[in-house]
Amino acid sequence: MIRVLAAIVAPPHLSVSGAGRAGEQLSIALAEHCEVTIASMMAPQTAAVDDSRVKRAAVKVTLPPPLSWLRLPNKYRTLFYRSDIPQLIRSGRFDLVHLHNPMPALELARIAYACRQAGVPYVISTHGFNEIANGARIYGFGLLRRLAWKALVTMPVSFAVRRASAIFALSPADKDIARQMGFAGEALAIVPNGVPAARPADASGDAALLGRLGLPERRAGQITCMFLANHTPNKGLPVLLQAFSQLKCPYLLIVGGEKRPEIDYGLAARQHRPDQQIVITGRISDDEVAALFRRSDLFVFPTLADTFPLAILEAMSYGLPVIASHVGGIPYQLDDKSGALVEPGDAGALVDTVTRFAGMPAGLQEMGRHAQARVATQFTWKSAASRAFTEYERLLALPPPVPSRARADRDGASPVQRGTLA
């Protein structure tokens, strides 16, 4: 049986990660086909999923000495976290390594280099590739920050991508990005994320959860819209709040996700009509997310850059139509029967589309049914695992990569450590 190490590269302080959750859920589904060990830099992300079929390796995460890292905000410390996953790879226990998530990029490159040292083939799923490729533009970096982004993010990711045995693109949009990052191999397959089936309804439980979150009773003629994501700059939350401040129709907007200091949430308190309300939930549990999906009529996701957001598929699995930005793999997730696409950053287009959808409640329900059917047939973890395993078998039928221990012993450091990233 193929022995796979699923290495989830992510800052340990993150409370939620779509890529981390996806990596774990794919690994659990793959356990039907091979022996999977999860090595995650984060706390487990799959509390609602039975993961008894996979092994878990304890991972130690540290920051390199001797700097005083506590003086740096988390968003900067994120770039430098390291783990002992390379030691796991050098143990010789695995036939293949599957890398999930590109940040911290320096650690992704260290793990990739450890695979090359050990002669173990590795594959990379393209979680976050769109955000990496567009990060300097999204964050509005000046010259110095652009140079830092290149040195600490894009170059290490490209180092890992160029040397990968295969790339698992989450959507066709990621193929060009992987090529631009330097991947020249033939093993560039489409292996999209999936989502589990929606949880069964629990009316009394939902009422208690919604009451605790401050959700009001439904009002006739009022559309309930939902947004769910980390409130990072690429997710477009300011665009969402701007658009809803301009809407003329009655609405309830639910904004899920942990708050960040750089977002102006004051706009939620500056509404002028009693039939318009914005509720900021803060961090929410899986049970609360499910209750909020069931309470909503429409999922709105005006992201500026995204690779393949799980939140969209999760909303669709609960029968919600979706309005989202035309970026990354989102056009691969949606079709015109299950929602609508708008250009990123265009608050006016978002206003027009929400207004149109608010006036067609029966049409929304039909789109929601189509969205749910689309997810059930095209985006399940079972189908994703089947595709991934087929690629694993194809990859392992090829000659293994030549171990690079001799070069590492001679030089005494990896290219990442030397700063070459060649």
DSSP-assigned letters across all residues of 272-341: --TTEEEEEEES--HHHHHHHHHH-SEEEE--SS-S--HHHHHHHHTT--EEEES-TTHHHH--TTTEEE
Per-residue pLDDT tens listing for the chain (422 residues): 999 999 999 988 776 788 898 999 999 999 999 999 999 998 765 544 567 889 999 999 998 876 666 677 777 788 899 999 999 999 989 999 999 999 999 999 999 999 999 999 999 999 999 889 888 777 778 888 889 889 999 999 999 999 999 999 999 999 999 999 999 999 999 999 999 888 888 888 999 999 999 998 888 899 999 999 988 888 999 999 999 999 999 999 999 988 888 788 877 667 668 889 999 998 899 899 999 999 999 999 999 989 999 999 999 999 999 999 999 999 999 999 999 999 999 999 999 999 999 999 999 999 999 999 999 999 999 999 999 999 999 999 987 677 765 444 444 455 555 555 54
Structural domain count of the chain: 2
- Please indicate, yes or no, whether residues 9 and 129 belong to a single structural domain of this protein: yes
- Please indicate, yes or no, whether residues 366 and 394 belong to a single structural domain of this protein: no
Residue 393 has a pLDDT of 96
Amino acid residing at 288: E
Scan for tokens 């970096």, then name that residue: 141
Residue 27 has a pLDDT of 96
Whole-angstrom Cα distance, residue 232 to residue 92?
38
- Please indicate, yes or no, whether residues 277 and 335 belong to a single structural domain of this protein: yes
- Please indicate, yes or no, whether residues 302 and 362 belong to a single structural domain of this protein: yes
Longest pairwise C-alpha distance within the chain: 73
- Please indicate, yes or no, whether residues 182 and 330 belong to a single structural domain of this protein: no
Here the CATH number for the domain that contains residue 61 is 3.40.50.2000
Residue 45 has a pLDDT of 59
Residue 225 domain boundaries:
203-378
Whole-angstrom Cα distance, residue 46 to residue 165?
28
Is residue 237 one of the residues assigned to a domain? yes
Is residue 402 one of the residues assigned to a domain? yes
CA angle 44, 47, 48 (to 5 degrees): 145
Residue 141 has a pLDDT of 82
- Please indicate, yes or no, whether residues 181 and 228 belong to a single structural domain of this protein: no
Residue 415 has a pLDDT of 53
DSSP element (H, E) containing 7:
strand 3-8
- Please indicate, yes or no, whether residues 137 and 81 belong to a single structural domain of this protein: yes
- Please indicate, yes or no, whether residues 17 and 130 belong to a single structural domain of this protein: yes
- Please indicate, yes or no, whether residues 186 and 151 belong to a single structural domain of this protein: yes
- Please indicate, yes or no, whether residues 257 and 309 belong to a single structural domain of this protein: yes
CA angle 80, 82, 84 (to 5 degrees): 175
Is residue 291 one of the residues assigned to a domain? yes
Residue 410 has a pLDDT of 41
Is residue 93 one of the residues assigned to a domain? yes
DSSP element (H, E) containing 207:
helix 203-212
- Which residues, in sequence order, are bridge partners of residue 253? 225, 278
- Please indicate, yes or no, whether residues 45 and 22 belong to a single structural domain of this protein: yes
Cα-Cα-Cα-Cα dihedral sign, residues 237, 47, 97, 74: positive
Is residue 121 one of the residues assigned to a domain? yes
Residue 418 has a pLDDT of 52
Residue 44 has a pLDDT of 67
Give the DSSP letter of residue 150.
I
Whole-angstrom Cα distance, residue 322 to residue 330?
10
What are the residues whose beta carbons fall under 8 Å from the beta carbon of 277, sequence distance 6 or more? 216, 251, 252, 253, 271
Segments in 72-180 forming alpha helices (H): 74-77, 85-90, 105-118, 129-138, 143-149, 155-162, 173-180
Whole-angstrom Cα distance, residue 278 to residue 253?
5
Residue 261 has a pLDDT of 80
Name the residue among 4, 87, 83 with its Cα closest to residue 38. 4
Residue 412 has a pLDDT of 43
Residue 70 has a pLDDT of 64
Residue 65 has a pLDDT of 77
Is residue 421 one of the residues assigned to a domain? no
pTM here is 0.86
Is residue 422 one of the residues assigned to a domain? no
Is residue 285 one of the residues assigned to a domain? yes
- Answer whether 350's CB lies under 8 Å from 240's CB: yes
- Please indicate, yes or no, whether residues 210 and 78 belong to a single structural domain of this protein: no
Tokens of 330: 């989102």
Residue 199 has a pLDDT of 86
The dihedrals phi and psi of 73, each to the nearest 5 degrees, come to -60, 160
Residue 105 has a pLDDT of 96
Residue 287 has a pLDDT of 92
